[in-house]
Amino acid sequence: MNPRIILLVTSPRLPAGLLTAQAWDVVRRFPVFAAVDSELAAAVSVAGGAVTVPAPKSESAEETLLAAAAEHGTAVWLAGPAGDEDLARRLGLRLAREPALAELELMYGSWDPPGARLLDAVEVIDRLVSPGGDPWKRQQTHDSLARYLLEESYEAYDAISAGDLTALRDELGDVLLQVVLHARLAQELPDGERWDVDDVAGGLVAKMIRRNPHVFAGVAVADVDEIIDNWERIKAAERAASGVASGAGGIPSPMDGIVLAQPALSLADKVLRRAGRAGVDVPLPQPDAADLEPDGAADPSTRLGAQLLALVAQARADGLDAEGALRRAALAYAAAVRAAAG
């Protein structure tokens, strides 16, 4: 059996000592080499591995590995960013010419977990906002960035509407940029007020576990409607516990938590949906009985608002999305105008 040279590849995003059982077995049994001192090399040494640091980085590096592999049957190289690709290339070329010398084996000691690139995103934004980074990003505030968060969200919406999932991936990256950037700026707040991206993620995790008891707490549900009812009930209890309530006497209201900055048609839809789920029966304003001006004349703006609200209510009754319908009609009209204008 030919000697082996194992190139041990690990994820830089995981703790250095978090290796597979197979990887720990080889680093404890065979001589280990590395280009530079590292946390992984230190972890292997502490665990009883025989690590040579630094290993030669010249043309003789493969000779060192080949000699160790010939003597011990196997030698391990801790792959990293310090010249390992060049070493692997040289070894591969030589062993292709002289296959009897040794077998070159790639072993993964750890893999990037799902979401690992999010850590890279946090690191990049931290670098851009830190001293010596990007002056534009360093001078931003939550207020100055607010419009960009809306714009990027609308661009993601556009990608969904167009059915362009490749564009959606890119636009969600821009939305993520806003989230991470806001979180990084919050690290500069005064003591007692600052928070960071881990606080954002931690709050999300806690909220999802709390609001999905049918998944995390074994609560039995009959259908999706019951899941939604539980969600709204838990959400209302959260508002009450935090003191966020706009109803009379501080009693939670079905209108609590509605995003007032959203487009008017979607706002109307949300208000009507919340009222319907709460069983609150408040008659819609009638366009023919709209508020009057002091001189007794009808207020055209109020009349139009009542008419639009009635249209949204009718759309809900018909199972239609008023915001989406108007958007599609406006885009179709824009396309017709574009075509007519040449």
For the stretch 217-227, pLDDT in tens is: 999 999 999 99
Nearest to 49 by CA among 72, 15, 82: 72
Q: Which two tokens stand for residue 117?
A: 């690139």
C-alpha 160: how far from chain center: 17
Least confident of 89-103, 139-153, 182-196, 197-211: 89-103
Partners of 77 in the β-ladder:
7, 33
Cα gap 93→226, rounded to integer Å: 63
- Which of 332 and 81 is assigned the larger pLDDT? 332
Report the chain's mean pLDDT, rounded to a whole number: 87
Q: What contacts 27, CB < 8 A, 6 or more positions away? A: 8, 19, 44, 47, 49, 76
Looking at the structure, give the CATH architecture of the domain made up of residues 4-108: 3-Layer(aba) Sandwich (3.40)
| Mean local confidence (pLDDT), 248-266 | 76
Locate all alpha helices (DSSP H) within 187-299, ordered by sequence.
Answer: 197-211, 213-216, 224-242, 264-278
- Please, what sign has the CA dihedral across residues 19, 21, 22, 26? positive
| Sheet arrangement for strand 74-78 | 51-52, 32-34, 74-78, 4-9, 103-108
Partners of 4 in the β-ladder:
74, 103
Residue pair 95/103 in contact by the 8 Å Cβ criterion: yes
| Mean local confidence (pLDDT), 140-166 | 93
Q: What contacts 309, CB < 8 A, 6 or more positions away? A: 268, 284, 285
Q: Is the pLDDT of residue 165 over 90?
A: yes
Cα gap 229→233, rounded to integer Å: 6
Looking at the structure, give the CATH architecture of the domain made up of residues 116-211: Orthogonal Bundle (1.10)
Residue pair 104/92 in contact by the 8 Å Cβ criterion: yes
For the stretch 185-222, pLDDT in tens is: 999 999 999 999 999 999 999 999 999 999 999 999 99
> Model confidence at 279, in pLDDT bands (50, 70, 90)?
confident
Residues of the chain within CATH 3.40.1010 domain(s) are 4-108
For the stretch 280-293, pLDDT in tens is: 888 888 776 545 55
- Which of 281 and 28 is assigned the larger pLDDT? 28
Above pLDDT 70, what percent of the chain?
Answer: 91
**DSSP letters for 265-292:** HHHHHHHHHHHHHHT---PPPPGGG--B
Distances (CA, A) of 45 to 8, 48, 249, 251: 15, 5, 66, 62
> Model confidence at 242, in pLDDT bands (50, 70, 90)?
confident
Q: Is 333 exposed, middle or buried (0-12, 13-18, 19+ CB in 10 A)?
A: exposed
Residues of the chain within CATH 1.10.287.1080 domain(s) are 116-211
